[in-house]
Structures are given as structure tokens and as C-alpha cells.
Amino acid sequence: MANMVKKANAFEILNHWVMAVSFIILAATGFGFLFHLEQLNSIFGNFNAMKLWHNWSGVVFAVSLFFTIFHYLPVSLSLGSDDIAWISKAGGYFSKKAVVPPQDRLNTGQKLLYLIVLTVGTAIAVSGLIIWLRPAAADIRKWVLLSHLVHNIGFVLMVTIIPLHIYLATLANPGTFRIMVYGTVPLEWAKKRHAKWVQKMGF
């Protein structure tokens, strides 16, 4: 067995899966509402049940989004010259010869993804709560319309970005997916992809 190092703890893995499952329920029911997909009734029963699934999955998503702050926000905010270089090389995804600068515990792409997910996720959660709870206000119709717009712009961004995230964290980068199962990676793998982090941790 190769020399393994721990990259994610159990809580981070669990939280990520809670978020992933709630997201899939939210996106599926969201498409159901947008396009009146009555085929989904075979899963959820009817649209009344689907609304309950959507709203409460939203609560679960928001709670897990909150916990991600402790897992990903500090490292995601530590953007520097290496990150700019990473972006200029498009992460090395479009050339086998590209050499990308050494990366933190999260690479530049993951950092940007997280910042987008945190921002968009918060906007979706807040706008969703306004539509759901309809707080008493004289111009509540305007607030609901604004929330509806924000909620749907967020939806478009999420259903576009998350499939790319899933692809990049599975097929595109072999060895990455196991982090969300075991939390560990081979040291050699980590040295190649997260050199700065390996150095910082002193592995």
C-alpha cells in the first residue's frame, strides 16, 4: 500500500454528501417545477409532495452550505499569483504539455468553484426562503418577483457548474473521487497535484 495522507476528515466528507444529495433533489424537483415534468410523480408522488421535498431539501442544503464555510472558505480566499498562472493555463486541462503552478489543498478551480457555490447557494437559499415564507411587507409581491428571478438565475448557474464539478472530480482527475469516500490520497498523488499543501503540512 502506498504511503497515504489524509486530505478530508469524516465530517467534511459527510457534509459534502449531504450537500450533494440535497442538491440533486433540489435540481431535479427544480426542473420538475420549471418544465412541469409530471414524469417525476413516479418518484415524488405528486407536485404537492415535490414542493415539500424541494423546500426541506433546501433547508438541508443551506445548513450543509453553512458548514462548508469551515472546510473550504479560508483556503478558497487565499488566491495568489499561482492561481492567476493556473487560470492562464486553464488548469492544464486543454494541453498534456502544460505545467501548472503548485497548488494548495484546493486547486484554483476548486477555490473558484467554492466561492461561486457559496455566493450562489446563499442567494438561492435566501430567495427561496422569501418565496416560501412570504414575510409580511407592503410590497411583498415585488420581493417575491425579485426572489423568483434570483432563485432562477442561481438555478441556471448551479445546474451548469455542478455537472462540470462532478466530471472534474471523477473522470477527469482519477484518484480525486476517493477523497470523498476514504478521505485519503497517496502521498505521490498529493505531491503532484497539491504540492504547496504537502509542503505546508510537512508530509
Partner 1 sequence: MSRKALVISPELCIGCRGCQTACKSWNQLSAAKTTNKGTVENPPDLTPNLYNKIRYVEVPSESNPVRWLFVSQRCMHCDDAGCMKICPAPGALFKTKEGAVGFDKEKCIGCKLCVAGCPFNIPRYDEKDKITKCNLCSDRIAEGLEPACAKTCPTGAISYGDRNSLIGKAQGAGYQKLYGEADLGGLGVLYAFKDAPKVYGMEENPAIPESVIFWHKVLKPLAYWGLGGAVVASLVHYVAFGPKKDEEVK
Nearer Cβ to partner 1 (14/85): 85
The residue within the footprint of partner 1, chosen from 20, 31, 63, 187 (CB under 8 A), is: 31
The residue within the footprint of partner 1, chosen from 4, 60, 144, 187 (CB under 8 A), is: 144
Does the protein bind partner 1 through residue 188 (CB under 8 A)? yes
| Amino acid, single-letter form, for residue 198 | V
The residue within the footprint of partner 1, chosen from 118, 131, 169, 180 (CB under 8 A), is: 131
Residue 149 CA from chain centroid, whole number = 21
The residue within the footprint of partner 1, chosen from 33, 79, 122, 180 (CB under 8 A), is: 33
Separation CA 10–CA 3 (nearest Å)? 19
Burial class (CB in 10 A: 0-12, 13-18, 19+), 160: exposed
Long-range contacts of 46-54 (CB under 8 A, 24+ apart): 53/25, 53/29, 54/25, 54/26, 54/29, 54/30
Q: Which three cell numbers stand for residue 146?
A: 425579485
Nearer Cβ to partner 1 (148/196): 148
Q: Which residues bind partner 1 (CB under 8 A)?
A: 30-36, 38, 47-48, 50-51, 92-96, 99, 131-132, 134, 141-142, 144-146, 148-149, 152-153, 155-157, 159-164, 167, 171-175, 188-189, 192-193
